[in-house]
Amino acid sequence: MITRKISELLQQLLHSLQNGELVGMGFQRRARRRELAARVAEELKRLTAPPHPAIREARERWATTSFLRIDQDERVIEVNPDGTTWVRAWVKISTVFPARADTPDRRRFEAAVADMPEEMRQIFLAHALDGLPYETIAEQLLVGVAEVQLQMGLALARLDEAVAHAGEKSP
């Protein structure tokens, strides 16, 4: 990701190159070249430095999820006055669930998920939210892949039934 400072630096460098400001022997031109070179060196140093430890910790902590990604070249952190460190990341948005608006369908959907037996709910959420493959879910829950497939099928049937029956009750 190109930061604002890098973008500004590259724009200035391009402008100087296009206008011939970096050629010749004049003192001001040499000073300008040195100033631009120093800024480029500063940005390169920042970009090639090892990531802040908080970035590495965040990557390790969230490595098993499929809904959060921290870019390999990420270098941006923010530290609050209370010492809390923020790391920039990407969040995957699932299209499986109804829109975020509080609608009757959404409430029925959430109620149906909440009413699922614990193992079924774990399997469904691990696959639907985290995007985990059946094999990984089976390993994590110490069950067979066939059991994961069965529970997913039952979960989807419950959700379908909850939404279908709700539609029949509507005027």
Model confidence pLDDT, tens digit, residues 57-78? 888 887 776 667 787 777 778 8
Q: What pTM value is reported for the model?
A: 0.42
Q: What percent of the chain lies above the pLDDT cut of 70?
A: 79
pLDDT tier, 102 (very low <50, low <70, confident <90, very high otherwise): low
Mean pLDDT confidence for 33-52: 78
Spatial CA neighbour of 136 closest among 120, 152, 148, 153: 148
Q: Could you give the count of Cα atoms lying within 13 Å of 101 in the half-sphere of its Cβ? A: 4
Quick one: which of 119, 121, 125 has its CA closest to 142?
119
pLDDT reading at 98 higher than 70: no
Per residue in 124-149, pLDDT (tens digit) is 999 988 889 999 999 999 999 999 99
Q: How far is CA 109 from the centre of its chain?
A: 25
Mean pLDDT of the chain: 79
The listed range with the strongest mean pLDDT (5-9, 59-63, 148-152) is 148-152
**Phi, psi for residue 17 in degrees, rounded to 5:** -65, -45
pLDDT greater than 70 at residue 81: yes
pLDDT of residue 28 exceeding 80, the answer is no
- The more confident residue out of 5 and 86 is 86
Residue positions counted in the chain: 171
- In this prediction, residue 150 carries a pLDDT of 92
Confidence of residue 23 (pLDDT cuts 50, 70, 90): low
Q: Residue 170's pLDDT band (boundaries 50, 70, 90)? A: very low
CA dihedral (33, 36, 42, 47) in degrees, to 10, reads -120
Q: Give how far Cα 14 sits from Cα of 1, 22, 86, Å.
A: 19, 10, 33
